[in-house]
Structure formats: C-alpha cells, structure tokens
Structure 1
Amino acid sequence: MREQRAFIIFVALLLLCIFIQYYDFIDSAHSLFLAFFWDPTPRIGLYPWLVESTRQLRDGHFPLWCNLKGAGMPLWANYQTAPLNPFNIIFEIFPSLKLLDYLLMLKLFLLGVFSYWLGRELRLCFLARTLAAVSICFCGFIRLNINHINLNVDLWVPAGLVLVEKIYKTQANFAKLIGLSLLSALIFLGGNPQAGFYALVFISGYALIRGGWGSKKKILVIMVSLCFGCALSSVQLFNFIEYLGYSWNYHTGRIFSLDYLSAQRLFSLFFPWLFKPMEFLPEWFKLPGYIGLIPLFLLLFSLSKINRIPRSALFFWIYLIVVWSMIYQLFPFSYLNYLPVLDKIRTPKHAYFGVCLCIAMLSGYGMDYFFKKLVSLRNYILAVSLINFIAVLSLVLAFILSRHIGMINWMPVIIPLILLMSAELLVAYGIFSGKTELAGLVIIGLVCVNVIYLGAGLRPELTDTKFYQYDNNIVPPIYQPIIEDKTLCRMVATGKILSPDLNVLFRANDFREFDGIYPRAYAEKMAEIYGIRIEDLKERYISQGWWFGIEAGHLDHKWLNVFGVKYIISEHRLNSPDLILIGRSQDHYLYMNQDAIPRVWLKLYLSGLDFKNARIYEYKPDMVMVVAHSSENSDLVLADQYAPGWRAFILPAGTEVKIFKEDGIFRKVKLSRGVWEIKFLYQPWGFRIGLFFSIGFLLGMFLLSFAHLTKKYIIKSK
C-alpha cells in the first residue's frame, strides 16, 4: 500500500473513532472541556484562569497577576495557566468555550498522527502503526485526561521521538536542531512542569539508548536542542521559579505516598472499570489508565526476536519496566521514588503516559512481527499462556478486592475475555494460513472495540455551560448583589458550595482559593483561621477537597474582617449579630458582613487607624492607584497580597518607595504628612529576565535560520 493512501486511510479511521467517542459533545450544549471525568480542575481552575488571562491580554497587558483569587495571586507564574501554549493562544484570539472542545479533539488527532509517524520512522507496517496510534489515543489515561493540561505536554512526546529518529537516520542539520528546540519549548509551555519533566526524561532516555555510545555528536545535538527549548520558554519558567521561592504547595513530603499504587491494582490496566464508576478506586488520584488485553497480547510478540531487538524497542521495554515498577512500588525500582526531584513529583499521574506509549509502541512491534510472519508457533503458545495467566490473575485480584470495594460489573469482564480469545484465534489463523494482513485488519477492529466501546465509567459528568460562556451576562442570581457592589470587597461561600474560581468568571473576589501553588503568607493566614499549625495544613487542605475553603465556624475570625470579606454565601441560615441577610436564592442565603474593613487605610503613628482618608481610584490586576491624605506620619496599607515584584511609586514625580509587609501579608508604604498619590505596579523580575532570554534566543534562532538559508541559497545558485 502506498504511503499516502495508507495515511489517508489511517486519518479517516482516527477521525471516525474520535467522532464515535465524543459525538455527543460536537455542536451541543455540553462542553467536553468542562466535563468532570476524575478531576474537576479544568472546570474550577483551568477555564477561569484561561478566561482571566484572555481578558487581560485583550486589555493590552500581560496577565501577570489575578486580583480575584484569595488576597491576590500571581497568574502568569501559575504554570497551569499556560498563556503561551499554542492551543490557549487560539482561545485568546477567538474566545469561545465550544472552540476549546474542538481544540481538545485536535490535540487527540495530533497525538494519533504523531504516533503514526513515529511508527513509520520505526519502519513498522501500516497495521502496526495504526494499532499503536489507536491504542495510545484511546487508552484510559488519555481518556481520563482529555481535558487536562497533561495532554498539552504529552502529545508532543511522539513528535519528539520522530525528530530524534530523523537525526539518527540522517545528518543532524540545523533545521532538525531548530525543530527539536521549538518542540521542547512547546513541552515546557504546556502548563504542567511535572509532566514536562517526564516528557523530557522520556525523549532524552530514548535518544541515549537509541544512539548508543557511538553517536555522541548526535546525542549532543539532541541535548542542546532540549536546552534551547528551555531557554525559549524562559518567560514562563523563570517567573514560575521566582514564585516557588515564596510559595506554599502540597508537592512535597509524604503526601505523594498517597499516589503510589499497590501491585494488586495492576489488573485495572487489562479490564476496564471492573467496579461501578468511582467505586473502583475511591481516591480519584489513584485512577490508572486502562489499555486492554489485546495490546498486551501483541506486545509479547515483540520479544519474538529478543536477540535482535531494535534499540528503540529496547528503550520502550526499559522505560516500561522501570517506571511501572516505580508506580506500583515493585522492588528494586521502587527506591527511585526517593531520589531528589523524583520525591517531589507525582510519578503515577505524570509518568503514566510514557507507560501507555511504551505499551502501544511495543504492541505495534508485535503486530509488525506478526504481519511479517516472524512469529513462530512457539512464540504464539508462550504469548497465549502469559496473557491468559495475566487475565486469570487479574480477575482473581479483582474478585478479592471486590469484597471490600463493591460488586463487580461482569460485562466489562466477559467482553474483554471474548475479544482476547477472538484475537488469539485470529493470530493462530494468520500463522497457519499465512493471511496475516486479513487477520491483522480484524484485530485492529477488535482493538477499536476494546478501547472505545468498553468505556463504561469513562463518560464524564456533564456541566451546565450557561454560566461559563466567555463574556456572557448570565450570572447566578446569588452573585448579583456582589457584582453590583462597586466597592472593593471580597466574598466567601461556606462549605463546598459554589466552587472557588467560579467567581473569576463574574469578576468577583472570592477569599477562598483553588490552585496548585499558593503564596506562603496566604497559606499561613488560612492555617491561623483553621486554628492549626502550618505543618499540619497539607492534611487539612487535602481532606477538604484540595482547596482552601471556609466553614461556618470560621466566619467570626478576625482575619475575615481584615481581609475585607463583605459578603458571605451559605446553604443554611447563619445566626450572627454582625451578619445581615440581604438576599436569598432557592439554595443559598447571602449575608453582608458589617465589620468588613475597606481595602485600603492609613495606619497613623499617633492616632490609630484611619479608614476615611485613603481611597483607591483605579484598580487593575497589575496596577493600583491610591490617593491618601495623611494628617501625620503614617503607613498606607493596601489589603492585597504582598509579593516580590510589586513596586510603589510616588506620583507625579515617579519616585520609587519601598513596599513593606503588613501583618506578614499586606502591602504598605511609609508616608509623611500631606496628600499623596501612590502607584502600585507589578513587575516581577522572573518575568522580565525570562522575557529578555526568550526574545533573545528567539531572535538569535531567527537570525541563524536566516543566515543558514541564505548560505544554502548562495551555494545552490553557484
């Protein structure tokens, strides 16, 4: 079959599979991006952050700071915001929620195409490439993370391996160096530093094992390309690193021991959702990726020529064994989890894509050997014995665990076994009859059924999108009085109602916060409100849903008044003399806190606090303009988050004055007697230096590319 025709057939099959899988999200009122598969982050975090970034960019400035979250927090430095990710840039130009759904399907399509091209570079037959691409695109890990930022990173991994293969097969020229540099920059800009770390480890490890000791120059070119990619993404990386210096996060300590899976959970790779959805593993972050029995069966054929195994396949086996052992805590590789850096990265969540890609590509090798009639009867008997043993062992483990978790849904057990037996019979037919192409085509169909039809439990909870449209005027009624209040104030909602960051869509400032990384001063204040030590905050943070919430018992804490929490939303009536009921919806009560302090005030050295003679006359995310009339020496206190990068200037002279911390979290400047106009401006050094490096490297690469092309043109013309 000609390459062009084969590729067209593959594209048609891939598009058909994507349509079958996600047809109910195409041109419908539901959103795939906001759907809840296993992690609510896309709905309650990624989308509001992207909307706020888009607003600020369209207002003409970089989205460096968000003043609608907590007491104010870095936005650009929040790596997950990823404003420079190419898919996010498309949204920033054409903001539309439905467009995000189509972009998710585009990412999935690109992942399939890149995986197919990788198979072609590895000289796999058409059926083998198709099998590998379909297996990785519709494995459980990708389907669970289709709307997560992991896919922004992971989809570039097979493309990176394609470039590595081209460097080894041909001369490592300038164009390939530039291409791999840009691709590694896309990995860094994907929005997930942990997934990016494992993606670069995957590409680097592949390059080292694929090239071997005799390819030192080409390995050097590959490593330099990866470093150039890091330099190109400095504008994102440096600001993030600066933020880490004054942040609190849960990405350290024994919290990550919760992520690792016991060996008993291995069966979940082979059978989809043996238990009812979300009863399979009660902890959402332990959900592994289903890939099915047929790819595992074909994978065993890749060992048919173990004495002549290609180096690329050797890498896939090494990575699969090592990382799989790390995830499932199997001796001796489980000890790698305690190495520096690895002890701070959530290996199961971010390395599982590499495991699934290895399985998919090795199953492609197995299909290639079968198609080329390199699988002997002995190889077949051994593979059948092993896969049947794995299937039986998996069911035994599932049955044992089901006594503690719930009743087994037997349909996802019986159907995979039927499909496996059918594949075994087809392989036997191909071996004895020699008609491996026909048998291979039918096996591809079985794999499609295996990973697409058996999606029980992988359909997400749908979200009503009427409140999530970009720049719409539809606001939950309970928010309306808060939005209409033109004073700078904050709100909270008690318990788990009205998830944090939903407020960002309506430009209301919620004191609660959902994020992956927080200013340490904010975390310390939350610990004080909770009445616990900062050392115990991680357990509290996780137990209440991986975010900082406020309960009814915290409403009388002094810090809520100091932070200017003026509005409180509750599911139940509240009995407090300081709270006035001002509104009610069907499910919620809205109260006004009479003791909330204004956003800005004067702290007079002799006379105490003055809340009347300081006011904010312009308030933007990265700029605040304040005018103050001080009757004596005083401190001007702005009840917003202090952070490195905030600068203050006395106008109109433009003289810079030092910003001090007030109560460990607020910004303040010292004033003498008189009328003052102060400008607070956010200009973090990490962003400025990173922007300089990124532009410098980008300009340098452009000039080098121009010089290279000019030289080639001159040589060609001669």
Structure 2
Amino acid sequence: MKGSRAKELVLIALIQLLLVGAFFLSLRYRLGPLYEVVLIEPAGLIQQRPWMDFNGKQLKQGLFPLWNPHTGFGQPHLANIQTAVFYPLNFVVYILGSKFGYELWLFLRLWLGSFFLYLFLRKLKIFILPSLAGSFVWSLGGYGLWFMQLVELNSQILFPLLLFLFHNLAEQAKLKTFLLTILVGAVIILGGHPEPIFNSWLIGILYFMFRLFRQNMPVKIKLSRLVLLFLTAVLSSSLASLVLIPFFNYYPRCWTLHYPGFGFFHLDITTIFSLFVSGINFVARGPGKLAVELLSRGASAVFSAGYAESTSPGMIPGVGLITMALTLFSLFRLKRAGSDFSFFSIVLILLLGITYGIAPFRWIAFLPWFKSASNFKFYYSEINFIIAILTALGLSIILSWSRIILSSILFLFFINLYFNVFTIKPYINLNLKDIEKQEWLKEIKTDPDSKYYRIAFIGDPPAIAPNLCMMYGLNDIASSDALFPEKYVEKMMALNSISNDDLLSYFYPRYYFRLSETALLDDNISRLADEAGIKWLVGRDLSSKLGNNQMVSINRRGGFEIAILKKGQELKVDRAFLRLKMITAQDFRLGLWVSVSGLIMLCIFCIVGRMNVKKG
C-alpha cells in the first residue's frame, strides 16, 4: 500500500511539474522575464526581489541581515518580518541570484502549492483525477499566476499541508505528525506576511477543532489533543522567534497605513462576477483609490461611510466559468458529501462576506486584529483554495456517474485554465529592463562617495523604483514598505514640509516615502545635504528648479539630470536610528536563544518518543 501511494505521489508531482512549468513558461514567453514585469502590484519586484538579493549578499559574507543601510536613513531588516530572511525557499534566490533564482523561486512555489493541495484533497477522500484537476485551480487559476511575485505565497502554499497535518493530528496523535506540524507551522511564520500567517493558523486551528469534536472519543483524549494543539503553536512560534521577537518589538515603533478602521474597506459586490470570467473589469469606481482620508477621522468614520465610499478598487482573481460551475454544483450536493466540505463552504461564505463588506460579516473589523487588516484583499488565496476543494468534489461526483462526461468536462476545464494565462497583463511598467545600463547609475556607482552619501530621485515616476538601489549597493532616501520607523517618517515629513493632515494623501496611492519637488527650495538645499546626507538628486528636469542655485552642479546623463550637492556630511546614523539598530541586534540575540531552546525541546520530544516506542 505504501509503495503504491509513493508511486502515485511521484507520478502526480511529475505531472504537476510539467503542467505548471508549461503554464509558467507560456506566461514568461508572452510577458518577458518575470523579474522585470509587474504582474499584480509592484511589491514583488521592488520589495521581495531587492530584499532577497540583500539577504543573499549578507549571508554569503557571513552576516545576519539585521540592518538595511540602503533605504531611508537605514531601517531594521530582519525585524521587518516581510523580508522573510530565513524562509527555506528563499535560499534558492540567495544561491542562484535575483534573476534566474528569482524566477525559479516563483515556479517552485506554484508547483509546491499544487502538490500540497493535492495531498489535502486526497486526504478528503477525493479520487485521484479530480484531486489532480482541483490542485491546479489555486496555482493555475486566477490566484497563483496573478500573485506569484508576492511574499504572501510563502505561507499560502503551505496552508493545505498544515490542514493535512492537523487532519491527521486530530485523528491520531503520532509523534511524527506532531513534529511535522510544528515544523510546517514555523515555516509558515517564517514566510513573512502577517495576514497569511494569521489566516493559515486561524483556519487551521478551527479545522483541527472541527475534526476533533466530531469524533467519537473520550473527553480525556480530546483534551490531550487540545494540549498537543497548544504545544504545536507554542513550539512553532519558538522556532520562529529569531524573527518574531524582533518583529514584535519593532512594530510598535513603526508608522503604517493600516490605521484602525482600515479593515472596514471592502471590494464592490458588483465585481463578484470576476470569479467567473477573469481579466474583465466589471466595475469602474471613480478614481480607483481607497478613501484613506476617512482613516484620519477614526474607525467609526470608515464604518459609517456609505458602501461606495468605503469600497476598495480591485477584484478577486477569477477561476473561470467551468470551475465556478463545478463549485456551485458541489454546493448543491453538500448533503451527500462529507462534513469537511460543509466546513469549508461555511468558511467560504464568511470570507466572501468579509471581502465584499456585507453585514454582518464586515462587523468582524471591530475586533483587534481585523480592524487594521486588509480585509478587502487578503482572503483571495483562501477563497481560491476552497473553490479548488469544491471543484474537486464536483468532479469526483461526476466521475461516479460517468467517465465520458468527466472527460468532456476536464477538457473544457483545462482549456479554461489555459485561457486564464492570456488574461494576465502587466499591472504597471516600472522600466526595470537594463537598469544597470543607465548612465546616471554608472556614474554614481563608480563614485567612492556612493558608500557614504544618499541619492534622492525627483519626479514621478522616479528614475528607478524605490528599494532597487540596494541591489547596486547605493543608498536611496526613498523607501517602499508596509512598516516605516516613526523617526524616518518624521524626518521625511520635515524635509517635505508635510503636516499630519497631509501625510495619508502624500503616502497613498504611491505607497512609498520619497523626496518631493517641494523640498527643492533654495533655502532647503543645505538641509538635504547636512541633515539628510544627500549628495545626488536625479530627475528629468532639475535645471528648471535648481539651475540658479550655487550649491549644486547639474550634469545630464542620458534622459536624466544629476544634481550634485556641493556640501554634504558623511552618511551617519543619528542617535534614534543607532538605538533602533542596537535594539534590533538585542532582539535577534534573544530570538535566536528562544529558537534554539525550541529546537532542543523538539529533539527531546523525538528522543522520548523513540524510547516509548522501543518500550512498547
């Protein structure tokens, strides 16, 4: 039995490797290198790629990447959990580089996501062929291909594996299952994005308890399983503490757009048809922006706003007509299916209700975690995951009726998936191709002062997107992130003469801090040099703004002008940033100690477990 099961999994893994690879290469052939093309939002290329490049360079030098000196005035790096420094798959990029390694990283996550989903579908006792088809819904449907560049997938690809292990642990408390669950739970945390981490653990725990309490077993055994669940969460967290402890201490010292009340933003319910036909904009909502000005008036202002006013632009990525037809078919057949499918159907309804801001589901944003979460977009993966489960169920039911009908539907299903590839178009052109050949970049990079001074890019779009300078060892005063040190925000507000009332409109929708043209006043240039350590300004038309200023000399390089400030101080960390840097190092040492302690506990469990087996 074990041999045939192993052969099945190897064969399935190979089929998935080939099909996911074919879809991936088809997309790359049409759009170009995926380390240059923005698929759904820029974060994957201007955050994850440069961060992983930096991680790899630091680790190769034998250093832990605790501090990033290249963005802003220096920022905690490892303490920013989204840098995912120790996520295992990221080592592919660290070893193979941020071009080939990055694309291989994208592909491997899609492939593994398919494989782990297949494992879970088989655990739900769905037949092989329907399970195989269902495993592609998440990776090759609307979600995986669209969002493959984002950090969220680090945790999301492991979500079905966590459910698989929780399913087993609830039924039978085996040491191997217990230890694997701890390890997978820890890797999910190391994945880096708080919301997918929270979602994976929350739904996983609920599923564990659902499986546990529907079984006919003594209360004592159920209580012992709950203790195992608690230990799993504690030990997973302890293993990931080298990241968690620095993050928890850094977060209160940060500014973020996620004000209380952010969780009340939602998608427009009229876009729900995007699930059926991907790539079609079913609604155009005015300027296509979040009404972030509501946040300054408190959570109650967002909650009390009209439905249209609190609507976010965007749509849930679609899975196609055939997949949705199978999903709806399964929903009408739930009475004849197992209770697990009813559990996931209820979760699907809840997640759709929250995402589309339907009362009473949206009231969840009154709760502490949800009030600041991006409830309008961070359930896409789980929604597509459950649709995959229901699709596989529908195909399994049809298989029990007729193989001929199933074959016809599968043909249409895969055709539908293939055409989804053609709905994917670049979200925005950041002009990332051949950046290293830019004349201004070559000039600044060869200047010995580039190690000590900063660059500020003027104009929109900038000569280079924020964070990308760190890939070339340059220091950009701009920064793109979800978390920013409060001291950095204060200094940027002062340089740009921005008040608290103007902060939200300055930051959104660009989603990064930068030097504005308003900072180029004659009496402000000395501040840029002396207080911010800026030596270079790069823009398309600096002569008209700075041509008469005696403190700068302007040179044209290609399509850009470089304004060199004649006075500047060596790049230094002021006391506030130096203290933050020291705190980050202290937190990492504490986190490392806790992680090692957790690893020792894991080893003790292994030893004790083996001894008990031998005695038995």
TM normalised by structure 2 equals 0.86
Aligned 8 A contact 2:45 2:149 in 1: no
Aligned 8 A contact 2:48 2:83 in 1: yes
Matched to 1:443, the amino acid is I
For residue 240 of structure 1, what is the aligned residue in structure 2?
247
Distance 1:13 1:309 in 2: 28
How far did 1:685 drift?
2.7
1:371-390 Cα distance to aligned partner (Å, 9 max, x none): 224xxxxxxxxxxxxxxxxx
List aligned pairs for 1:455-474, cutoff 5 A. Answer: 455-460=421-426, 467=434, 474=436
1:415-458 Cα distance to aligned partner (Å, 9 max, x none): xxxxxxxxxxxxxxxxxxxxx12221221221111122133331
Q: 1:490 to 1:5 in 2, by over 3 A?
A: closer
How far did 1:160 drift?
0.9
Q: 1:6 to 1:56 in 2, by over 3 A?
A: closer
Q: Unpaired runs of 5+ in structure 2?
A: 216-221, 290-311
Equivalent residues, number: 574
Alignment equivalent of 1:697, drawn from 598, 613, 616: 598
Distance 1:200 1:131 in 2: 26
For residue 493 of structure 1, what is the aligned residue in structure 2?
457
Aligned 8 A contact 1:78 1:517 in 2: yes
Matched to 1:312, the amino acid is D
Aligned 8 A contact 1:599 1:639 in 2: no
Residue aligned with 1:349, SS: coil
Residue aligned with 1:95, SS: helix
| Larger RCO of the pair (alpha carbons < 8 Å, separation 6+) | 2
Distance 2:470 2:605 in 1: 43
Alignment equivalent of 1:554, drawn from 516, 519, 542: 519
Aligned 8 A contact 1:523 1:534 in 2: no
How far did 1:475 drift?
5.0
Alignment equivalent of 2:540, drawn from 561, 568, 571: 571
Distance 1:368 1:514 in 2: 46
1:12-56 Cα distance to aligned partner (Å, 9 max, x none): 542343233221577999432442012111221211111112111
List aligned pairs for 1:520-531, cutoff 5 A. Answer: 520-531=486-497
Distance 2:431 2:287 in 1: 26
Residue aligned with 1:350, SS: coil
Q: 1:463 to 1:589 in 2, by over 3 A?
A: closer
For residue 229 of structure 1, what is the aligned residue in structure 2?
236
List aligned pairs for 1:357-372, cutoff 5 A. Answer: 357-372=385-400
For residue 128 of structure 1, what is the aligned residue in structure 2?
130
Alignment equivalent of 1:537, drawn from 500, 503, 525: 503
Distance 2:611 2:434 in 1: 53
List aligned pairs for 1:431-450, cutoff 5 A. Answer: 436-450=402-416
Q: Confirm or deny that 1:686 pairs with 2:595.
A: no
Q: Confirm or deny that 1:349 pairs with 2:315.
A: no
Matched to 2:199, the amino acid is Y
List aligned pairs for 1:393-432, cutoff 5 A. Answer: none
Aligned 8 A contact 2:118 2:131 in 1: yes
Q: Confirm or deny that 1:188 pairs with 2:195.
A: no
1:656-694 Cα distance to aligned partner (Å, 9 max, x none): xxxxxxxxxxxxxxxxxxxxxxxxxx7533212111100
How far did 1:278 drift?
10
Residue aligned with 2:480, SS: coil
Q: 1:641 to 1:69 in 2, by over 3 A?
A: farther
Distance 2:30 2:347 in 1: 41
How far did 1:5 drift?
6.2
Residue aligned with 1:105, SS: helix
Q: 1:20 to 1:114 in 2, by over 3 A?
A: same
Q: 1:278 to 1:477 in 2, by over 3 A?
A: farther
Aligned 8 A contact 2:173 2:225 in 1: yes
4+ residue runs of structure 1 moved beyond 6 angstroms? 25-29, 276-281, 461-466
Q: 1:187 to 1:518 in 2, by over 3 A?
A: same
Q: Confirm or deny that 1:505 pairs with 2:471.
A: yes
Q: Confirm or deny that 1:642 pairs with 2:577.
A: yes
Q: Confirm or deny that 1:594 pairs with 2:601.
A: no
How far did 1:94 drift?
3.7
Q: Percent identity?
A: 22
Q: 1:96 to 1:45 in 2, by over 3 A?
A: closer
Aligned 8 A contact 2:70 2:469 in 1: yes
For residue 343 of structure 2, what is the aligned residue in structure 1?
315
Distance 2:287 2:157 in 1: 27
How far did 1:294 drift?
1.8
For residue 584 of structure 1, what is the aligned residue in structure 2?
556
Aligned 8 A contact 1:273 1:280 in 2: no
Aligned 8 A contact 1:501 1:514 in 2: yes
Distance 2:275 2:24 in 1: 22
For residue 471 of structure 1, what is the aligned residue in structure 2?
none
| Larger Cα-atom Rg | 1
Aligned 8 A contact 2:67 2:581 in 1: no
Q: Unpaired runs of 5+ in structure 1?
A: 374-435, 469-473, 601-637, 648-681
Distance 1:559 1:239 in 2: 32
1:555-611 Cα distance to aligned partner (Å, 9 max, x none): 2335422111111111012324134335322210001112333446xxxxxxxxxxx
Q: Confirm or deny that 1:476 pairs with 2:413.
A: no
How far did 1:270 drift?
0.7
Matched to 1:132, the amino acid is G
Larger deviation: 326-335 or 28-37? 28-37
For residue 75 of structure 2, what is the aligned residue in structure 1?
73
Distance 1:232 1:242 in 2: 17
List aligned pairs for 1:49-198, cutoff 5 A. Answer: 49-169=51-171, 171-198=172-199
RMSD: 2.9
Alignment equivalent of 2:268, drawn from 262, 266, 282: 262
Aligned 8 A contact 1:34 1:147 in 2: no
Matched to 1:36, the amino acid is V
